[in-house]
Structure 1
Amino acid sequence: MNIQYVQGKPLFINISKNTKQYPYLTQDIETDVCIIGGGVTGAIASYYFSKNNIKTVILEKKRIGHLSTGISTALLQYELDDSLSKLQEFIKLEDAIRGHELGLVALKQLEDFIKQYGNKCDYKKRDALLYTAKTNEINAIKIEYELRKQNGFDVSYIDENTNEFSFDLKAGIISKDGGAEIDPYKYTHQLLDISQSMGSKVYENTEVIDLIHYDDYVDIITEFGYKVKAKKVIVATGYDTKMFSDRNFATKATTFNVATKPVKNFDGWKNRVLIRDNSDPYNYLRTTNDNRLIIGGEDVEFIPDIFDEKLANEKYDILENRLKSMFKYINHIEIDFRYCGTFASTTDNLGFIGEDTKHKNLWYILGYGGNGILFSILGGMMLSDLYNGKTNKDMRLFRIDRFDN
């Protein structure tokens, strides 16, 4: 694994019993769409294109579902990383609200997927809590609550007097059915199983080393000399975009996670809601299907090619202590996994979906920010429609060139 991208022992890969492997490319092939990147984003894209009868191939340089997907907490919430009032500094309020609404659209897509194909990825719908333990942030939470309420989101406000959690809470917003949790590794493989049943081809350990652009197609050259001829290329490589563009798409940080051994009670964690605090950077918490607790955050500035083990251990200790202090009534909290990796974000909290500014046959699905999986679902929907000649008006929010002056 790249030292700057993933370190430690990621939870979902290591507890999985799925040992499925995929072939590597050993011949030249042709397809309608070639997706570069075999993480959860590439798998989602493959599903939507295949579902729309578009011939699809995935190329993954390492193992399917590893790297960034392996360290994802898959804590899915419709809300963006920043409050609506803060986002007004960067985008129009109506666009920030639409970003939240699209999160709900993606959550509904995920729920419908589970209903249609079965729950093979430990999916669970959850309420979501945004809260503060600081008196001077109460007003900010109240403003956020009012903005959401006024714009039709199903939210309720809680404070010290109505707090049913075991941790200190001065003010909070509960979003009814505002999120979901999944196992991202299982979800990736479920998506690919379904995509392959519809004709998609998947290759791992097949690194792309060059793209040659023509008017109506692209040749994708792999490290062993075999090539894929595709009408469109979908970049689903997360923060690793150097081969495709010299554009600086996002700001990178390193984020840290710890996960416990299974616990026997959840006292003080009402309804096992998804939890996020109002700090910057924030902490986020969820539970798992096998009764573990996960806490993440403590982000630091990303430094390429350097892994600071001492710093990482300090961050893991902070997260462990915070978890234990928040949930003093949960018995025998014992850390089982510690891991960290690269996290990319944008000022408007939105990812990138759409066409490259230089190459018309090069498209992107880059799920940056805390909503990466939900943005990927939106990207799969929007770009499969675009391939068939239908442009989604909400793609403007995710334009590749939206930060250009």
Structure 2
Amino acid sequence: MEMHNGNLYWPITESEQIVLQKPIQKEQYDVLVIGAGMSGTLTAYTLYKDGIDFAVLDKGKVGAGSTAANTGLIQYSNDIMLHELADQIGEVDAVRFYKLCREAVDALDEVAETVDAKDVYIRRDSLCFASEEADVSKLKREYEMLTKHGFDAEWLDQTALQDRFPFDKPAALITKGDAEVNPLTLSRQVVRHLSMNDVPIFEETDVTEVVPDGDGWLVLTPETTFKAKHVIFATGYGPAPLLDTHRIELNRSYAIATNPIKDFKDWDGQALIWETKRPYLYLRTTVDGRIIAGGLDEEKPETPHSEALIHNRAERIRQEVAALFPMYDLTVEYAWAALFGESIDHLPFIGEHPDRKNLFYLLGYGGNGTVYSMLGSKILSDLVRGIDNSDARLVRLDRTR
């Protein structure tokens, strides 16, 4: 399955490839992590921090899958707003989940500091504007729910918004404490950090089958067989072996990176920007002065091969960005399409297989995949060590909602 097509931006920001020496395979590991994209590397980071014996396997080179196409907006807010999630699962659980996401953003800050990636992990505010007048009441309800539960948020009416941004929208909500990141650099810096600390990472090791072995698992590849007590699939939007994924939808989206802009004085705080309509436009800035923007989601489970189609969607996104910031002379320098997964209830699937002991999954479906990966790594680290985690129920694989 192709995760992306087109001309990706993040690879050009990496001046060198990671060269990993193939590790010596042990007879058995406590944990095997399958996948070395963002989900797998953050899981590996947490397992290493918690002193667990493990190895990482990836069918390709690290960061070559969905991570390279990730647009790198880090937000504790979700595709489903807090008040909507409260209607769905109850206010107590919804607030707890949002707080877990906020804690995950802070944890990512710590990861970036540890692996020397602070220059590509920059804290930002987020601005969500009402796409039309009819959305104002929904956005105001979200503001009230957030502030009720201690989230730092600010309400902007039409006049206040115009004072700070160059576009005219009915209202907007600002949330504090989010971030932008170069996802490829962050994930590769984690790999470099782990490699320097002798964590075994097996690249170009394709898992063909996973079979039970007593209370553990045998992980088969074309060249060899690995043995482990626990297996964690952190495979991004790729297949999740042995798991029924009928509550997951694969769609595709489009993204661009523009030419560098001289300055962003008209863009207050270089906040991450998104909107209330669905599918939504979203945009952010980069450390080299570009704008990354995306949207135009389509319900098609494959990436397009037509360059003309990708360029058409890219131009439409550019025009939407230009409508918000008409003072910028924007051209599209990078354009791509990528797959993304969504769960029906807008929450990730994280935890142990309901029928197969010691088989775990970290599937961060939705627009907050990096945040979900961080919070999921902590849940899974507890579970594989036999530590009860009271938050695991919120994202368990066998939930019925």
**Corresponding residue SS for 1:321:** helix
Q: How do 1:159-198 residues align onto structure 2 when only pairs under 5 Å count?
A: 159-163=157-161, 164-177=164-177, 179-198=178-197
Q: CA deviation at 1:248?
A: 2.2
Report the Cα distance in structure 2 between the residues aligned to 1:148 and 1:174, rounded to whole angstroms.
11
**Corresponding residue SS for 1:162:** helix
Moved more, 121-130 or 298-307: 298-307
Report the Cα distance in structure 2 between the residues aligned to 1:383 and 1:294, rounded to whole angstroms.
32
Report the Cα distance in structure 2 between the residues aligned to 1:255 and 1:371, rounded to whole angstroms.
14
CA contact (8 A) 1:51 1:198 kept: no
1:158 match: 156
Aligned length: 399
1:377 match: 374
Report the Cα distance in structure 2 between the residues aligned to 1:130 and 1:15, rounded to whole angstroms.
28
Q: CA deviation at 1:387?
A: 2.1
Deviations for 1:8-41, whole angstroms, at most 9, x for unmatched residues?
A: 1211123311311335678674211111111011
Counterpart check, 1:337 vs 2:334: yes
Change (3 A) 1:115 1:15: closer
Report the Cα distance in structure 2 between the residues aligned to 1:326 and 1:318, rounded to whole angstroms.
13
**Corresponding residue SS for 1:380:** helix
1:391 match: 388
- In structure 1, runs of 5+ residues without a counterpart are none
CA contact (8 A) 2:310 2:335 kept: no
CA contact (8 A) 1:24 1:206 kept: no
CA contact (8 A) 1:212 1:220 kept: yes
1:350 match: 347
CA contact (8 A) 1:49 1:384 kept: yes
1:364 match: 361
Report the Cα distance in structure 2 between the residues aligned to 1:88 and 1:373, rounded to whole angstroms.
22
Report the Cα distance in structure 2 between the residues aligned to 1:27 and 1:51, rounded to whole angstroms.
21
**Corresponding residue SS for 2:288:** coil
Report the Cα distance in structure 2 between the residues aligned to 1:304 and 1:189, rounded to whole angstroms.
26
CA contact (8 A) 1:365 1:376 kept: yes
Report the Cα distance in structure 2 between the residues aligned to 1:368 and 1:110, rounded to whole angstroms.
18
**Corresponding residue SS for 1:38:** coil
CA contact (8 A) 2:117 2:185 kept: no
Residue identity in the other structure for 1:354: G
CA contact (8 A) 2:42 2:374 kept: yes
CA contact (8 A) 2:18 2:192 kept: no
Q: CA deviation at 1:252?
A: 1.3
2:204 match: 205
Q: How do 1:193-342 residues align onto structure 2 when only pairs under 5 Å count?
A: 193-224=192-223, 226-304=224-302, 307=305, 309-330=307-328, 332-342=329-339
CA contact (8 A) 2:352 2:397 kept: yes
Report the Cα distance in structure 2 between the residues aligned to 1:374 and 1:255, rounded to whole angstroms.
19
CA contact (8 A) 1:27 1:227 kept: no
Residue identity in the other structure for 1:169: K
Residue identity in the other structure for 1:373: T
Report the Cα distance in structure 1 between the residues aligned to 2:235 and 2:144, rounded to whole angstroms.
37
RMSD: 1.9
Normalized against structure 1, the TM-score is what? 0.93
Moved more, 243-252 or 141-150: 243-252
Q: CA deviation at 1:328?
A: 1.2
- In structure 2, runs of 5+ residues without a counterpart are none
**Corresponding residue SS for 1:161:** helix
CA contact (8 A) 1:220 1:229 kept: yes
Q: CA deviation at 1:249?
A: 4.5
Residue identity in the other structure for 1:256: Y
